[in-house]
Amino acid sequence: MFNNKCKLMICACLTVVSIVVAGCGAISGGTKDSAKDAKLVDTIKARGELVIGTATGYPPYIFLDTSKPGTNYVGLDIDLAQKVADKLGVKLKVENMTFQALLSSLSAHKIDLAIGGINPTDERKKTFDFSDVYLVSHNRIIIRKADAGKYKTLTDFKGQTIGVQKSSTQESVAKNEMQDCKIASLTHVPDAILELTQGQVSGVIVEDVVGQQYLMMNPDLVMLDITFKTDKKESAICVNKGNKDLIAILNEVIKEEKANGNIDKSLHKNDELAVSLAKQ
C-alpha cells in the first residue's frame, strides 16, 4: 500500500498533462474580430466544436483519469460541459491550463468558456459574464491531524504559513482574513497539500467538497470546524461579455441537470473515482 506522500504525488501528477502555453493563438472561428460579427453559439456550431478552458488537479470538479490510456478529463465540470456540447450538437474540446491562466485565455478568445469551480465574484463580473450557479460549497482549512489541538480559531495561526491555490477565491480569503499569516500561493491544490504533509505550511484553505478528497486520501489530515467571514463559495461557468446566447444555453443545461439530480450524482461519482485513482 502506498504511503500518504505517494498518494499526494499521484494526485499532483494529475495536474501536469496538456498545459496550455501563453503563446497559443486564438481558436479558429473565435477571434476578437469574428466575435463582433457573429453570435458565439453560431460560431461554435459552425466550427463543430465547443472549446473549454479548465485546470486539472481539482477533484471532484476536474481531474485526469489515469486508469485509461491517453488523456482522459473527468469530473463534475467535464460532465456539465459535455451536456452543453451535446445541447449545441458539437464535440467537446478541453484545453488544460493553470487556474490563473483561465480568465486571460478567455479574454484572448483562445477558449469559448472557462469552467473549473470558478467563483463569480463581483470583481470578475466587471470583466466577464457568468452562468447561474451550479454548486455551492464552503471555504474551510485543512491541517495535520497531529496539530488539531493547536489550532482552534483563526487567530491561533498568527505567524504561521498558509497554503492556497494561486489566483483562487481561497487566496483572497487568506489575504483578507488571515493577515497575520504568511501566504504561500501555489499553482495547484495538490502542491499545497503536499507542502502541508511535509510541514512546510501549517494549513491549506480549500472549499469543502475539494478538501474532502484529500481527507479520504490522507488519514493524517483533518478539516477544522472554523468558518470564515467569506464562508460560501459558489461555482459558475465564465464567458466573455456580450454572449447572452451562450449564457442562455448554459443556464438551460444547469437547470436541467439540477432538476434531474445529475449534479449531485456526478459529484458523488467523481468523488469515488478521484479517491480510487489516488489509491492505485
8 Å CB contact between 141 and 222: no
Kindly report, residue by residue over 167-218, the tens digit of the pLDDT.
999 999 999 999 999 999 999 899 999 999 999 999 999 999 999 888 988 8
Kindly report, residue by residue over 19-30, the tens digit of the pLDDT.
333 334 566 554
Give the DSSP letter of residue 58.
B
d(CA 48, CA 30): 12
Kindly report, residue by residue over 86-132, the tens digit of the pLDDT.
999 999 999 999 998 999 999 999 999 999 999 999 999 999 999 99
Kindly report, residue by residue over 216-234, the tens digit of the pLDDT.
888 999 999 999 999 999 9
Is residue 246 pLDDT above 60, yes or no? yes
Mean pLDDT over 134-150 rounds to 96
8 Å CB contact between 129 and 103: no
Mean pLDDT over 39-48 rounds to 96
Confidence class of residue 38 from pLDDT cuts 50, 70 and 90?
Answer: low
Closest CA to 140 of 213, 36, 50, 33: 213
What's the pTM value of the predicted model, to 2 decimals?
A: 0.83
Could you give all domains of the chain from N- to C-terminal order, each with its CATH number? 4-135+233-279 (3.40.190.10), 138-232 (3.40.190.10)
- Average pLDDT across the chain, whole number: 87
Confidence class of residue 84 from pLDDT cuts 50, 70 and 90?
Answer: very high
d(CA 140, CA 151): 13
d(CA 167, CA 99): 7
Percent of the chain with pLDDT over 70: 85
pLDDT attached to residue 31:
41
